[in-house]
Amino acid sequence: MSITKLLSKKLDRILFTTPSHNQKPFFNKEFENFYKVDYSEIEGFDNLQEPKTSILMAQGKVSDILKTKQTFFVVQGATTAMLSAMKAIISPGEKVLVARNCHKSVFNGLLLTAGLVDWIMPETDPDWGIYTHIDPNKLEQTLELNHYKAFILTSPTYEGINSDIEQIAQICKNHDTYLIVDEAHGSLYNFSPDLPKTAIEQGADISINSLHKTAGALNQCALLNISNTIKNIDIEIFQKSLNIFQTTSPSYPLLENIENTIAYLNSNQGALELSNLMENIEKIKPELERFGIEFYKAPNHDKTKILLKKEGISGNDLSDTLFEKFNIEDELNNSLSCLFLTGIGTTRQKLDKLKTALKKVPTNPSYKPQSVEFQPHPLVKVQPVATFNRDYIYVNKNDSLLKISNKLIMPYPPGFGVLYPGEAIQMWHLDYLGNNVQIMR
């Protein structure tokens, strides 16, 4: 029986188990339906740590849909999926190549696995102030110089830029390096012909989806996907690894939500919703272009991520005005551009409101765009594993140059560091630091 069927049946059982709430809320009636389906691993309900029945079946169906060797349900976000993937692949002291625009969970994965990091910088687009793709040639040169157990990158980026995973996967295979793709923002790719191919379809060994970001699932729903073509690894290691990081009391409502999200995306109704979304996004563009709005365009760009700029106003001011005057909140902005995320649940009406507001935002004809400064290549002085629980002192910012930072400096979103613990403070970082800087002793 599927997780959904189990939860939709009225249970005639007297439970002396956890959770104790008896499937009823005590304070907030709003949560009534959520409580009704909040069980633990009672008889017949399967166990996420060792799935044998309903959860195994649900995972199997998703795996078939995504064309993976195995897909695991994760109820603690892409963060936990990434930590588990890294623990399964990386042993202490093995070298790992990481794209600098990876989410901070990758740094934490290095800290926990004792993998040794080398960073590779993604390409940039100075006209939009964003990081873009990983250059396959640069990757190949890097892999020629050193052997890495794994290469981890983010594709798509927050802004919907996709690296050429097909080429990257081939390069990694040639160098005996596992390819882990953080596809947190690409959970819809399997379900629309108008979106890029999935990382797994393109040859990645492992991919991670965050279903709550754009696929319409509740927060914390995620998937860990293992490819049919992965080599030299016992698949059981992934379950073992997940069992370290995942709770022994996973939320059944979340498990059901994962099952249903994928079933919906895979249905005719889901396909229609996605195709309407893509169509509605395209519809607002021509009119806005006449009002001085420029949309980011690139081959293989994920169009559900609307990246735009308006003539005569900075991205930051555009964001502030939309929020203050029109009650519209973007996901991210910089001095040049603003990012609006869409997905399952983004209605035509919502897009029309954005269109109306964007047209009305006042501009200044004498405004001159200011460039975005991209961070320098990091100087790793202490490997992530050795950065935890260090003795530290404070120094004045002016005395901190080339000292080793004990702190993570990270604007969120997008959630990747401009300075991680263990890295030398460079001139570029000074603007991000307060007057007192925590450095390693």
The residues of the shown chain that bind ligand PLP, judged by CB under 6 A, are 77-79, 103, 105, 154, 158, 182, 184-185, 210, 222, 415
Closer CB to ligand PLP, residue 284 or residue 338?
A: 338
And the tokens for 186? Answer: 């690409």
Among positive and negative, which fits the CA dihedral 28, 29, 31, 36? positive
Write down the least CB distance from residue 202 to ligand PLP, Å.
Answer: 17
Strands 150-154 and 130-131: unpaired
Q: Shortest Cβ distance from residue 162 to ligand PLP (Å)?
A: 13
Residue pair 149/89 in contact by the 8 Å Cβ criterion: yes
Residue with Cβ nearer ligand PLP (77 or 196): 77
Q: What is the phi/psi pair of residue 368, to 5°?
A: -115, 125
In DSSP notation, 55-113 reads: HHHHHHHHHHHHT-SEEEEESSHHHHHHHHHHHHHPPTT-EEEEETTS-HHHHHHHHHH
Q: Which is nearer to ligand PLP, 65 or 218 (CB)?
A: 218
CB neighbour class for 339 (10 Å; exposed up to 12, middle 13-18, buried from 19): buried
CB of 222 to ligand PLP, least distance (A): 5
Shortest spacing between CB 250 and ligand PLP, in angstroms: 15
- Name the minimum Å distance from CB 356 to ligand PLP: 29
Q: Are 99 and 134 in contact (CB under 8 A)?
A: yes
User: Are 97 and 71 spatial neighbours (Cβ–Cβ below 8 Å)?
Assistant: no
Least separation in angstroms between CB 52 and ligand PLP: 27
Cα(266)–Cα(337) distance, integer angstroms: 33
Q: Which is nearer to ligand PLP, 41 or 343 (CB)?
A: 343
Closest approach of Cβ 205 to ligand PLP, in Å? 17
Nearest to 96 by CA among 72, 112, 79: 112
Helix (H) or strand (E) holding 438: strand 436-440
Q: Which is nearer to ligand PLP, 103 or 149 (CB)?
A: 103
Instruction: Indicate the residue among 394 and 412 with the shorter CB distance to ligand PLP.
Output: 412
- Extract the tokens encoding 331: 């996901």
**Does 122 sit behind a cis peptide bond, omega within 30 degrees of 0 on the bond before it?**
no
Residue among 87 and 185 whose Cβ is closer to ligand PLP: 185
In the complex, what is the shortest distance from the CB of residue 367 to ligand PLP, in angstroms, rounded to a whole number? 30
Beta-ladder partners of 120: 99
Residue 199 contacts residue 165 (beta carbons within 8 Å): yes
Nearer to ligand PLP by C-beta: 62 or 425?
A: 62
End-to-end CA distance of the chain: 58
Residue nearest to ligand PLP (CB): 77
Pull the structure tokens for residue 9.
Answer: 């049946």
What ranges make up the beta strands (E) of 286-413? 293-295, 305-310, 332-333, 338-341, 392-396
Nearer to ligand PLP, 158 or 340 (CB): 158
Q: Minimum Å distance from CB 355 to ligand PLP?
A: 26
Nearer to ligand PLP, 6 or 83 (CB): 83
255 closest CA partner among 53, 31, 32: 53
For the bound state, the minimum distance from the C-beta of residue 185 to ligand PLP, rounded and expressed in Å, comes to 6
